[in-house]
């Protein structure tokens, strides 16, 4: 069985990564597995431990860092965020595609470790629209929104390091594009089974 493909969806806070991922999963019949991150951020209203995030204290998170339990982790506007290693590695080994929804420092760490991973940058149509989305979500105080917008400028500059860039103007259009990327990645020559290559060659030589 061939390994699954690791997809990394990154982009500034508030661009719509979670919204686009949920819409993608509604269409995808869960062929793609979402990796739930750990964070020291406090849960927002309605967020559930083990569904949205694994919510940790700073001490718990730092113990996980010391035990090498993360593929990557980063500090983002005052909180830790990280991707638990075991779940992702188990799913990939079982042939499942996995998607990470993470900020850019973490994506850069994944890039070093997983050379076959596919990196998609979700971009806002403009910084003005990004601010509108962050304010409209209403989950952060003004000072945190300001910190996230300041970070967004540095993140958008890094877009050129990614394999693909998708502008999230309209959610369904962004999902169409990401679905196309996922499908295309499966047609890479390196994923064609040797048995299929042999069959093509043998059929040709047999003259049938
Ligand atoms: N294409 C879009 N057009 C208009 N609003 C959008 C669009 N996509 C997402 N939104 C809205 O923008 C806000 C932020 O979206 P979302 O929470 O999915 O962003 P995010 O990138 O996952 O944020 P974070 O990184 O902070 O978790 C939400 O209120 C969402 O409804
Ligand atoms: N490097 C990582 N970044 C992560 C991870 N999980 C989420 N994130 C990103 O953090 C910011 C803030 O998230 P929020 O839920 O507080 O709005 C956002 O860009 C997320 O994508 C992770 O495991 N590693």
Q: Tell me which ligand sits closest to the C-alpha of residue 137.
A: 1
The ipTM value here is 0.98
The domain spans of the chain are 6-34+97-207
Query: Does domain 6-34+97-207 match CATH 3.40.50.300?
Result: yes
State the helix-helix crossing angle for 171-185 and 17-28, rounded to 10 degrees: 60
Q: What is the 3-state secondary structure (H, E, C) of 26-95?
A: HHHCCCEEECCCEECCCCCCCCCECCCEEECCHHHHHHHHHCCCEEEEEEECCEEEEEEHHHHHHHHHCC
84 marked as binding residue: no
| Tens digit of each residue's pLDDT (9 = 90 or more) over 171-198 | 999 999 999 999 999 999 888 888 888 8
0.90 exceeded by the pTM? Answer: yes
59-68 pLDDT per residue, tens: 999 999 999 9
Asked if 109 and 71 count as a contact pair (C-beta separation under 8 A), the reply is yes
Closest ligand by atom to 173 CA: 1
Q: Whose CA is nearest to atom 23 of ligand 2?
A: 82
Q: How many Å apart are CA 53 and CA 39, to the nearest integer?
A: 7
């Amino acid at each position: 069985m061939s390994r699954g493909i690791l997809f990394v969806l990154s982009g500034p806070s508030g661009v719509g990564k979670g919204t686009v991922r949920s819409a993608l999963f509604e269409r995808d019949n869960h062929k793609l597995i979402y990796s739930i991150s750990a964070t020291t951020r406090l849960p927002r209203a309605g967020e559930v431990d083990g569904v949205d995030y694994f919510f940790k204290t700073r001490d718990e998170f730092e113990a996980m860092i010391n035990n090498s339990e993360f593929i990557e982790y980063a500090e983002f506007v005052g909180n830790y965020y990280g991707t638990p290693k075991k779940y992702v590695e188990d799913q990939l080994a079982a042939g499942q595609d996995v998607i990470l929804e993470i900020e850019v420092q973490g994506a850069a760490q994944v890039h070093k470790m997983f050379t076959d991973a596919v990196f998609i940058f979700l971009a806002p149509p403009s910084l003005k629209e990004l601010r509108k989305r962050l304010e409209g979500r209403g989950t952060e105080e003004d000072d945190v929104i300001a910190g996230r917008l300041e970070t967004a400028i540095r993140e958008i500059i890094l877009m050129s390091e990614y394999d693909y860039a998708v502008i999230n103007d309209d959610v369904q259009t962004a999902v169409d594009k990401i679905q196309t990327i996922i499908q295309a990645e499966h047609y890479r020559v390196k994923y064609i089974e040797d048995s299929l290559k042999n069959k093509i060659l043998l059929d040709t030589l047999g003259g049938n």
